[in-house]
C-alpha cells in the first residue's frame, strides 16, 4: 500500500463518487511497498514448496514477479504491520505453488486467482487475531503508510489524519474492508474486483459506494451528496 493509495482513499471519502485507481506499475520502492528483504524472504519461502527450484514452472515465476506487489499491497491494507504483510504474502505464493495444478485459466486470471488465495489467508489471519484480542491499527505500528512530509508539523498532521482514517476503516464490516482493500490496496478496477469476488461490476460499484459512505460516517466527514 502506497501513500498515494491513502491519499486517493482520503479524497474518495470526501467526494460523492470514487475516482479511478491508476494501474500499478511499480518501478521503485515507496512507503508501503515490499522491501528488498521482503522480496527475498518471499522468494525463499516459495522455494520451500515440494518442488525443486530448477523445476519451478516458468508461468509461476512470471506470476511471482508480476503480481507479488499487488498481493502484498492488498494484504498490507488489511493488516497492521509491514512484517505481517510480508509473511502472509510469502504464505500466499507458497499455497499458490502447491495448488498450481488446480489452476484453471478459463475461470480466473493469475492475478485474480492469487488474490482469492490472499483473501483466504487474510481472513485466517484476522480470525486468529479476533481469538487473541484487538484488531486496532495505529500508526506506531504502521509508519510506512505515511509519506515523508516536508516539515515535522505537516508529518504530524498527516499522521493524525491517516490514523483517524485507518482506525475508522478497521471498524467497518469485513466485506467493506475487503472491497476497499482490493480497490485502494491492490489498485484493482471494478471488473477485476468483480472477477475476484465472483460477482458483477454493478454489485462491486454499489459495495464500494456503500463502504465509502460508512467510512465517511465513521470519520465524521459530511456526505457530499447532502451538501448540494
Helix (H, G, I), strand (E, B) or coil at 84: helix
Q: Which of 42-56, 65-79, 207-221 has the lowest mean pLDDT?
A: 42-56
| CB 215, CB 172: distance < 8 Å | yes
What's the whole-model pTM score?
A: 0.68
In the block, which residue shows the cell 495444478?
101
Q: Which of 30-39, 64-73, 165-174, 200-209 has the lowest mean pLDDT?
A: 30-39
E strand or H helix at 91: helix 82-98
* Non-local CB neighbours of 72 within 8 Å, separated by 6+ positions: 33, 34, 38, 85, 86, 89
Helix (H, G, I), strand (E, B) or coil at 138: coil
Compute the average pLDDT of residues 62-81. 87
> 156-181, pLDDT tens digit by residue?
677 777 777 777 888 889 899 999 98
Q: Percent of the chain, pLDDT > 90?
A: 26
Q: Percent of the chain, pLDDT > 70?
A: 63
> 27-62, pLDDT tens digit by residue?
334 444 556 665 666 666 655 555 444 345 567 778
What is the structure's pLDDT at 22? 46
Q: Where are the domains of the chain?
A: 3-226
Contacts 24+ apart (CB under 8 A), 88-92: 88/118, 88/121, 88/122, 88/125, 89/34, 89/38, 89/42, 89/118, 90/41, 90/42, 90/45, 90/46, 91/45, 91/121, 92/117, 92/118, 92/121
Amino acid at each position: 500500500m502506497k501513500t498515494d493509495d491513502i491519499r486517493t482513499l482520503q479524497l474518495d471519502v470526501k467526494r460523492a463518487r470514487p475516482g479511478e485507481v491508476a494501474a500499478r506499475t511499480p518501478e521503485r520502492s515507496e512507503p508501503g511497498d515490499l522491501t528488498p528483504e521482503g522480496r527475498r524472504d518471499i522468494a525463499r519461502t516459495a522455494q520451500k514448496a515440494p518442488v525443486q527450484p530448477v523445476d519451478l514452472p516458468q508461468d509461476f515465476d512470471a506470476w511471482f514477479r508480476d503480481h507479488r506487489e499487488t498481493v502484498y499491497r492488498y494484504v498490507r491494507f488489511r493488516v497492521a504491520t509491514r512484517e505481517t504483510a510480508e509473511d502472509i504474502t510469502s504464505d500466499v505464493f507458497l499455497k499458490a505453488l502447491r495448488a498450481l495444478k488446480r489452476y484453471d485459466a478459463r475461470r480466473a486470471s493469475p492475478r485474480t486467482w492469487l488474490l482469492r488465495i490472499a483473501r483466504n489467508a487474510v481472513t485466517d489471519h484476522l480470525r486468529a487475531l479476533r481469538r487473541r484480542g484487538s484488531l486496532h491499527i495505529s500508526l506506531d505500528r504502521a509508519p510506512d503508510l505515511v509519506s515523508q512530509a516536508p516539515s515535522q508539523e505537516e508529518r504530524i498532521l498527516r499522521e493524525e489524519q491517516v490514523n483517524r482514517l485507518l482506525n475508522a476503516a478497521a471498524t467497518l464490516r469485513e466485506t467493506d474492508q475487503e472491497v476497499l482493500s482490493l480497490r485502494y490496496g491492490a489498485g484493482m478496477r471494478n471488473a477485476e474486483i468483480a472477477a475476484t469476488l465472483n460477482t458483477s461490476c454493478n454489485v462491486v460499484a454499489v459495495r464500494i459506494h456503500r463502504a465509502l459512505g460508512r467510512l465517511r460516517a465513521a470519520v465524521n466527514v459530511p456526505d457530499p451528496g447532502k451538501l448540494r
